[in-house]
Amino acid sequence: MDEIKETVAAEETGGLNFVEQYIKEDLEAGKNGGRLNTRFPPEPNGYLHIGHAKAIIMDFGAAEKFGGTCNLRFDDTNPQKEDTEYVEAIKRDIHWLGFDWGDRLYYASDYFQQLYDLAVRLIKEGHAYVDEQTSEQIAAQKGTPTEPGVNSPYRDRPVEENLDLFERMNKGEFEEGSMTLRAKIDMAHSNMHFRDPIIYRIIKAPHWRTGDKWKVYPMYDFAHGQSDYFEGVTHSICTLEFVPHRPLYEYFVKFLADESYCPRQIEFNRLNLTYTVMSKRKLLQLVKEGLVRGWDDPRMPTLCGLRRRGYTPESIRDFVNRIGYTKYEALNHIELLEHSVREDLNKRATRVSAVVNPVKLVLTNYPEGKTETMQMDSNPEDPAAGTHDMPFSRELWIEREDFMENPPKKFFRMTPGKEVRLKGAYIVKCTECIKDADGNITEIHAEYDPETRSGLPGADRKVKGTLHWVSVPTAVDAEVRDYDRLFSVENPSAEEGDFRDLLNPDSLIVREGVKIEPWLADRAKEGDHYQFQRLGYYTVDPDSKPGKLVFNKTVGLKDTWAKMQKK
Ligand code: ATP
Ligand code: MG
């Protein structure tokens, strides 16, 4: 008994990633009164992508794991780029992933007054000044990591003058770009972020929540840590590019916090995926320039794109678990993501028959006008799924690629003189193929063996190939959208030049006239997942209309990830 208890305990404490270990240590040390409060802080300037899912799973997941809470805070400090459309889409995607912020929905703009008051306090205490230089001049004075910067000529303005100018900046008396408020720290500091960072700038565009109230807006470094503090966030988990910002985060938070409560920033590695880009700026460009069909184009790495493609929240969470959280940047293989969705859909997707590139097969010895009903397994992975009926007749659709007139060795599909099984039906032997004047195959002829109907005793004569098929008289036409990689290079962000030149021109293939079995045509609903026998997993697209189903190919059947692991 004791032994069993011990393994359970080990499993319960083990399996934590390094961020969760830090959290556990803080909780055990009684920091922040033993509270855990994380936050997910998206800027509403685009749709969420799978990289954000990694952050969401960490932020909400850690809160769930340790009985804490997680805030959703929109980092809405730049009115020029932000939109409510994005806010609503972000909420939808977080819910879809399976997380909920409850009543903990916040906006950085909730804290504009508190942030402004803190800025005024910094000015009064001699820690901030109004600079009238252009951003180019300021950048030129910044120095380099090995050379100190140069002090601004406005650095030692009297406090009263700073207060007056800052107030007038906010009243709209000065043009955008003509003045900034800078923290007065140290122009020779070894951390470049400490060289008098800009903390406020003038923006005259109205803000979608606060309207015309503010003409000055806080910069990220001045807003983020303080917003965490105002909200009671204890662990501010973000990605590695914020490591050099952490000292500044701590510097500003120290103006507010004491030892009884102080938020802590922890950084983990970003999710980067092969054959795509993760930058919201680039994704927005693809959408705006019509290079994809929208944010939810099934080729996009956005959560709405992946959802439309047929990815499930479970598969995305599984993928994120597999890649894990570390302190080292990595490039993650898209094949692993595909592996996760393939495994998940294998469990849940109903098996159906569809022929995407049809050619007609005529069983010349099968009586004209006769039909039979074949019973097809709906999902061998799920005993509860049972079977469904599929009509069989003299004329069938099969895949063009499943026939070769002069095949190489080891071709076990249809070829003259050889037997194959039609899945769930009969063994047939090809007799000839009919061609048009240009030599294109228009029809294939075969004879069936009536003694070999699947399920009958003795029907199981060994044949090497099994083909899927759909009966011609009852087949229904559908559209299938096949996808390939969005970019033709593995790591587009690492390449020189314009990323748009690296787009894969063949990333979308639209197939009309795909033949599907009637049972599928009757029941398929938007978002449903199916396995087309022998072809892959397909998901019903929202473009489907009554009488015209549209399917997105989610992923093929071949486990390309396992193959990569063997290499
Ligand atoms: P931007 O370029 O606009 O800053 P962003 O992708 O950082 O884009 P945010 O809205 O600021 O967008 O991101 C919200 C949170 O998601 C941040 O905490 C950020 O660290 C995290 N995040 C963004 N991209 C990734 C990624 N690829 N992997 C893991 N986390 C990410
Ligand atoms: Mg960001």
Look at residue 267 and give its three-state secondary structure: strand
Looking at the CA of 78, name the nearest ligand: 1
d(CA 223, CA 73): 12
**Residue that is written with structure tokens 């997105």 in the block:** 552
* Pocket test residue of 47, 52, 233 for ligand 1, highest count of atoms within 8 A of CB: 52
Enter the pTM of the model: 0.94
Helix-strand-coil split of the chain, %, nearest 5: 35, 25, 40
Per-residue burial over 249-269, b = 16 or more CB atoms within 10 Å of its CB, e = otherwise: bebbbeebbeeeebbbbbbbb
Q: What is the pLDDT of residue 383?
A: 87
Strand order in the sheet with 529-532: 350-352, 529-532, 536-540, 549-556, 476-483, 508-516, 354-355
Residue 387 has φ and ψ, to the nearest 5°, of: -125, 170
E strands, 139-224, are 180-183, 198-202, 216-218
106: CA distance to ligand 1 center in Å?
17
177: CA distance to ligand 2 center in Å?
22
Q: What is the pLDDT of residue 6?
A: 36
Q: Which residues of the chain have pLDDT under 50?
A: 1-13
> 301: Cβ below 6 Å to ligand 1?
no
Best CA proximity match to 303, nearest among 456, 118, 97, 499: 97
Q: How far is CA 447 from CA 325, 365, 376, 472, in A?
A: 58, 6, 22, 17
Strand order in the sheet with 105-107: 37-40, 69-74, 105-107
* Cβ partners under 8 Å of residue 486, min gap 6: 275, 276, 292, 299, 300, 301, 503, 504, 507
- Give the model confidence (pLDDT) of 486-541 as tens digits: 999 999 999 999 999 999 999 999 999 999 999 999 999 999 999 999 999 999 99
Tokens of 224: 């983020």
Q: What is the pLDDT of residue 75?
A: 97
d(CA 168, CA 65): 48
> 44: Cβ below 6 Å to ligand 1?
no
d(CA 338, CA 311): 9
> 198: Cβ below 6 Å to ligand 1?
no
Q: What is the pLDDT of residue 468?
A: 98
Q: Are strands 37-40 and 180-183 parallel, antiparallel or unpaired?
A: unpaired
238: CA distance to ligand 2 center in Å?
9
d(CA 94, CA 90): 6
The secondary element (H helix, E strand) that includes residue 128 is strand 128-131
Orientation of helix 220-231 relative to helix 246-253, angle to 10°: 50
d(CA 423, CA 535): 14
The secondary element (H helix, E strand) that includes residue 397 is strand 395-399
Look at residue 464 and give its three-state secondary structure: coil
Best CA proximity match to 73, nearest among 45, 101, 96, 34: 101
> 224: Cβ below 6 Å to ligand 1?
no
What string of DSSP letters covers 509-567? Answer: EEEEEEEE-HHHHHH--TT-EEEETTTEEEEE-TT-BTTBEEEEEEEESS-HHHHHHH-
Q: What is the pLDDT of residue 146?
A: 94
Looking at the CA of 90, name the nearest ligand: 1
Q: Residue 398 pairs with which residues in a beta bridge? A: 359
Q: What is the pLDDT of residue 566?
A: 83
Tokens of 242: 């914020």
d(CA 234, CA 238): 13
Task: Please state the atom number of ligand 1 nearest to the C-alpha of residue 237.
Answer: 18
Q: 561 with 339: CB under 8 angstroms?
A: yes
Q: Residue 479 pairs with which residues in a beta bridge? A: 550
Q: How far is CA 297 from CA 124, 215, 313, 542, 556, in A?
A: 51, 37, 17, 11, 18
**Using H for helix, E for strand and C for coil, what is the string for 404-453?**
CCCCCCCCCCECCCCEEEECCCCEEEEEEEEECCCCCEEEEEEEECHHHC
Q: 208 with 82: CB under 8 angstroms?
A: yes
